[in-house]
């Protein structure tokens, strides 16, 4: 991919994501949202999950954030608004929780369901908007290949193609696969924060003379106008490049509730407990998984 960068970004921090338990019997590798990296504006959480029935993520609430899932295995989603659907391998769901949602995400079928879950913060002006979903089947995700580089554009744009997904917080989410000996140069808006999460293989990121980095690492990128990547190995390299416009706002968080002040968190807890201000339907709703 030919794209001249004036100031390529370098890797400034690197973490190896460690498995931890989450939900009910599920295992995730959390790279953002753990004690070493609580928040990387505007990103709250990045989990690489691996779950098989009967484990999963049963009924739980959200307020004030975006929640994106891209799956390698089938995941059944349902919520208290009556929305229900199957997120199949390679599909994408982009949920804007806004003022409040209660939902469940449970594996469907046999075997492991794997994927990524990303939480993006919402600005104060968008925290209490109505919830919404954007769902795209794998075959409809914008994708292209050139010179040994393949990209699936989950959000934003790359290599001349653009995702139809609208994000309240300006975000890029690019799923790259590089064949051996291939080289990538990807522009990133210079004012945005950006990071890489490696899914498979190993690659050289930022500086050509730096050493290769392997799977399950998150790489925080410094300032610049883009990223360079080289695959010098004999195997395929797959990673996601995620970037977003910083909100520069205070963050108050209690689990899946993400607001700007502690007082707003207290109000959210009350709203959820008393089924008001967006949580009215939570009073009588239970997912099918909970009723089984």
Question: How large a percentage of the chain has pLDDT more than 70?
Answer: 98
Query: Minimal CA–CA distance to 98: which of 70, 43, 135, 61?
Result: 61
In the predicted structure, residue 74 carries a pLDDT above the cut 90: no
| Whether the Cβ atoms of residue 233 and residue 173 lie closer than 8 Å to each other | no
Checking if the pLDDT of 69 tops 90, the result is no
With a threshold of 0.75, does the pTM exceed it?
yes
How large is the average pLDDT for residues 197-206?
Answer: 97
Res 110: pLDDT: 78
Rounded to the nearest 10 degrees, how much is the dihedral formed by the CA atoms of 253, 43, 212, 151?
Answer: 150
**Whole-angstrom distance, CA of residue 79 vs CA of residue 105:** 9
pLDDT, position 292: 62
State yes or no: 217 annotated in a binding site.
Answer: no
22 annotated to bind ligand: no
Is 62 annotated to bind a ligand? Reply is yes
Was 60 annotated as part of a binding site? yes
**pLDDT of 2 over the 60 cut:** no
The reported pLDDT for the residue numbered 3 is 66
CATH top-level class for 18-244?
mainly beta
pLDDT at residue 1 greater than cutoff 50: no
């Amino acid at each position: 991919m030919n794209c001249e960068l004036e100031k390529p970004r370098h890797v400034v921090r690197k973490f190896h994501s460690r498995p931890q338990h989450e939900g009910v019997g599920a295992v995730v590798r959390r790279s953002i949202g753990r004690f070493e990296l609580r928040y990387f504006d505007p990103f709250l959480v990045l989990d690489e999950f691996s779950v098989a029935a009967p484990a999963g993520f049963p009924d739980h609430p959200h307020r004030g954030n975006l929640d994106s899932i891209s799956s390698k295995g089938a995941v059944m989603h349902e919520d208290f608004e009556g929305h229900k659907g199957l997120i199949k391998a390679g599909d994408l769901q982009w949920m804007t929780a806004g003022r409040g949602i209660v939902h469940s995400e449970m594996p469907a079928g046999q075997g492991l369901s794997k994927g990524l879950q990303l939480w993006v913060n919402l600005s104060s002006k968008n925290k209490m908007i109505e919830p919404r979903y954007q769902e795209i089947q794998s075959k409809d995700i914008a994708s292209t290949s050139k010179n040994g580089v393949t990209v699936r554009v989950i959000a934003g744009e790359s290599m001349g193609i653009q995702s139809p997904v609208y994000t309240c917080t300006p975000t890029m989410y690019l799923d790259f696969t590089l064949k051996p000996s291939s080289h990538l140069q990807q522009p990133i808006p210079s004012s945005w924060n950006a990071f890489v999460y490696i899914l498979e293989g190993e690659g050289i990121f930022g500086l050509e003379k730096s050493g290769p980095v392997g799977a399950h690492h998150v790489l925080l990128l410094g300032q610049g106008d883009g990223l360079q990547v080289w695959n010098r190995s004999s195997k395929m390299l797959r990673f996601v490049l995620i970037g977003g416009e910083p909100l520069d706002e205070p963050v108050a968080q209690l689990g899946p509730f993400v607001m700007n002040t502690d007082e707003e968190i207290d109000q959210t807890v009350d709203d959820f407990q008393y089924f008001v201000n967006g949580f009215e339907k939570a009073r009588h709703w239970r997912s099918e998984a909970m009723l089984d």
